[in-house]
Amino acid sequence: MKNQIEQPKKNIMKLFLIGSLFVFGVSVVLISFQKTSREIVFNSTGDNSVNYRVFLKENDFFEEPFLEAGKTYITSLIDHIDIDFKYLENFTDVADAKLSYYLKATISADKTDKIGETGTYWSKDYQLTDPVVLDFDDVDSVGFDTTVSIDYPYYNSVLESFRAQYPIASDGTIQIALVVDNSIYSNNFDNPLEFESKSSISLPLLEKAVEASVDVETGNQAKEFKKAQEDLSPVYTIVRVVGFLLIILSIVLMVKVILKRKEFIKHHQYISALDKILSTNDSIITNIDNMPSLAKFQKFEVKTFEELLDAYNEIRMPINFYQNKAGTESTFFITNDGIVWIYHLKKRNLGS
């Protein structure tokens, strides 16, 4: 009886531990599904340069055919200018890239600094080259070199015609620019990273026999692209799997405990019912070791032991008792004149 008393307490303790295991498993799974993100950063930094050579018309003063960059020039002696563009973008990660570039010239008549205002009266663009497309695969930098020759006197004459027709005080400028459209395909970004990069050189127009300055813009600023990405670290997958396994294990253990509890109830009720029958009717019950064949008897199966007692009171024959070896079923029966009255007490039919 001691084990029977302690059994419910043990089951309660087991259910508590299993419930705690289930809650822990659910918590682990929920934590593993929490979105943890990290910032993905991709940088593209320009390392561009612009160089030029100013070729001179035949004259009595300069022996060399051209002057290098960084000099001062008499504009009336300029024949043409060769401009070298070196384009280079360095990436922080390996990527594929597609570049499309072209060269253009822009002349403009600008308000002079003498009147204290800034702005442009008129400008015109000239596309010097057709677009050129370059493809790169699995690189950490992209680049190319290109050279263009500028007919400086032609553009100077265009602006002189404008000023002759519209005699307003203005400064003239020609800008030659390399325009590059970049499409960078990084594995960390769903869509290509697209940006325009521009390198240029600006020279004055409408100046005669005076010093002329050259302004160069290389466009070497850094381009930074960012996005938040869910961290799919294998650790989270492992934690998630462990959590699910804990949940499944706790459910299996809980089912086993419940089934064992039901089995215990059935066994307890079976033993109690059997003890009550045997102790109350010990004088009229005969134990037998082997169950005889009752095939030739006319059978009357009763539903309760009390019904079997009614039969006993009528015929006054002993009640035979046999219990199977597993201890899960007891058979009580009375035989008389080819008739048998049988009552079965089965553990599986007891309990809830």
Note down pLDDT in tens along the chain; length 352 residues: 344 444 566 777 888 888 888 898 888 888 777 666 677 889 999 999 999 999 999 888 888 999 888 888 888 888 999 999 999 999 999 999 999 999 999 999 988 766 566 788 899 999 999 999 999 999 999 999 999 999 999 998 999 899 889 888 788 889 999 999 999 999 888 899 999 999 998 888 877 644 445 566 777 788 888 876 655 567 777 888 888 898 999 899 888 888 888 888 888 888 899 999 999 998 899 999 999 999 899 999 999 999 999 999 998 899 999 999 888 899 999 999 899 999 999 988 876 5
Q: What is the dihedral of CA 238, 244, 247, 251, to 10 degrees?
A: -130
Domain-embedded: residue 269? no
Tens digits of per-residue pLDDT, 259-298? 888 888 888 888 899 999 999 998 899 999 999 999 899 9
Domain-embedded: residue 270? no
Round to whole Å and give the CA distance between 87 and 197.
Answer: 9
What one-letter code names the amino acid at 323?
Q
The pLDDT of residue 213 is 54
Q: Are residues 248 and 320 in the same domain?
A: no
Domain-embedded: residue 262? no
Domain-embedded: residue 328? yes
Q: Are residues 168 and 242 in the same domain?
A: no
| Residue range of the domain that includes 9 | 2-31+233-256
Q: Are residues 66 and 192 in the same domain?
A: yes
Q: What backbone phi and psi angles, to 5 degrees, belong to 21?
A: -65, -40
Domain-embedded: residue 268? no
Strand order from edge to edge, sheet including 329-336: 285-287, 319-323, 329-336, 339-346, 298-301
Q: Are residues 26 and 170 in the same domain?
A: no
CA 326 centroid distance within chain: 58
Q: What is the enclosing helix (H) or strand (E) of 142?
A: strand 132-150
CA-to-CA dists, residue 16 to 9, 257, 350, angstroms = 11, 11, 27
Give the CA diameter of the chain: 156
Q: Are residues 106 and 21 in the same domain?
A: no
Residue that is last in its domain, among 256, 291, 319: 256
How many structural domains compose the chain?
Answer: 3
Domain-embedded: residue 108? yes
Q: What backbone phi and psi angles, to 5 degrees, belong to 54?
A: -100, 110
Residue pointed to by tokens 């009614």: 310
- Beta pairing, strands 319-323 & 222-230: unpaired
Domain-embedded: residue 293? yes
Q: Are residues 298 and 345 in the same domain?
A: yes
Q: Are residues 151 and 244 in the same domain?
A: no
pTM reported for the whole predicted model: 0.56
Domain-embedded: residue 117? yes
Q: Are residues 80 and 163 in the same domain?
A: yes
Are 331 and 342 a contacting pair, CB within 8 Å? yes
Q: Are residues 226 and 241 in the same domain?
A: no
The pLDDT of residue 266 is 83
Cβ neighbour number for residue 303 with a 10 Å cutoff: 9
Round to whole Å and give the CA distance between 99 and 193.
Answer: 12
Percent of the chain residues topping a pLDDT of 70: 90
Q: Are residues 97 and 137 in the same domain?
A: yes
Round to whole Å and give the CA distance between 176 and 198.
Answer: 10
Q: Are residues 59 and 186 in the same domain?
A: yes
Are 83 and 201 a contacting pair, CB within 8 Å? yes
Residue that is last in its domain, among 256, 290, 324: 256
Q: Are residues 243 and 329 in the same domain?
A: no
